[in-house]
């Protein structure tokens, strides 16, 4: 779903209600209506409209499949569950417990050669 910042923070606080909500295909896009996302508790001047239509971020083939089911079979699109995937925080500037500014290597980085080993990699036992 396409959301604004205060909506994301309100969802993290659990201020979302799917009762009486439905989705419609409008102009080649799918919009969900009547999803109530309450106000974020620590908001300042920024706020959002709680019941505004929100665009669902779907692939083209998913939209075509939904259009087929709603027009051919006469089905209605009703959201029954919202899954909000929390991303782990990446505080790379802060050292972890017991560390003195050292970070473990990331998985996408190749291992580096150790000092004293000109060939790189590990030495083989002879």
Residue 33 DSSP SS3? strand
Q: Identify whether 94 is part of a domain.
A: no
CATH number for the domain spanning 65: value is 2.40.280.10
What pLDDT, on a 0 to 100 scale, did the predictor assign at position 4?
83
Q: Identify whether 48 is part of a domain.
A: yes
Q: Identify whether 82 is part of a domain.
A: no
Q: How many domains does the chain have?
A: 1
Q: Taking the chain (126 residues) in consecutive chunks of 10 residues, what is each chunk's mean pLDDT?
A: 85 87 88 88 78 90 89 84 75 53 60 56 53
Q: Identify whether 32 is part of a domain.
A: yes
Q: Identify whether 10 is part of a domain.
A: yes
Q: Identify whether 53 is part of a domain.
A: yes
Distance CA 28, CA 53 (A): 15
What pLDDT, on a 0 to 100 scale, did the predictor assign at position 114?
57
Q: Identify whether 49 is part of a domain.
A: yes
What pLDDT, on a 0 to 100 scale, did the predictor assign at position 15?
86
Domain containing residue 22: 5-72
Q: Identify whether 64 is part of a domain.
A: yes
Handedness of CA 44, 46, 51, 55 (dihedral sign): negative
What pLDDT, on a 0 to 100 scale, did the predictor assign at position 42?
80
């Amino acid at each position: 779903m396409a959301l604004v910042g205060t909506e994301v923070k309100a969802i993290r606080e659990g201020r979302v209600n799917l009762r009486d909500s439905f989705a419609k295909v409008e102009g080649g896009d799918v919009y969900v209506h009547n999803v109530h996302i309450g106000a974020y508790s620590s908001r300042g001047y920024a706020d959002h409209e709680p019941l505004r239509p929100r665009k669902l971020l779907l692939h083209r083939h998913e939209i075509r499949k939904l259009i087929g089911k709603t027009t051919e079979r006469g089905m209605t699109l009703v959201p029954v569950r919202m899954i909000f995937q929390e991303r782990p925080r990446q505080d790379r500037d802060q050292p972890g417990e017991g560390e003195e500014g050292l970070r473990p290597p990331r998985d996408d980085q190749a291992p580096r050669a150790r000092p004293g080993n000109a060939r790189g990699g590990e030495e083989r036992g002879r």
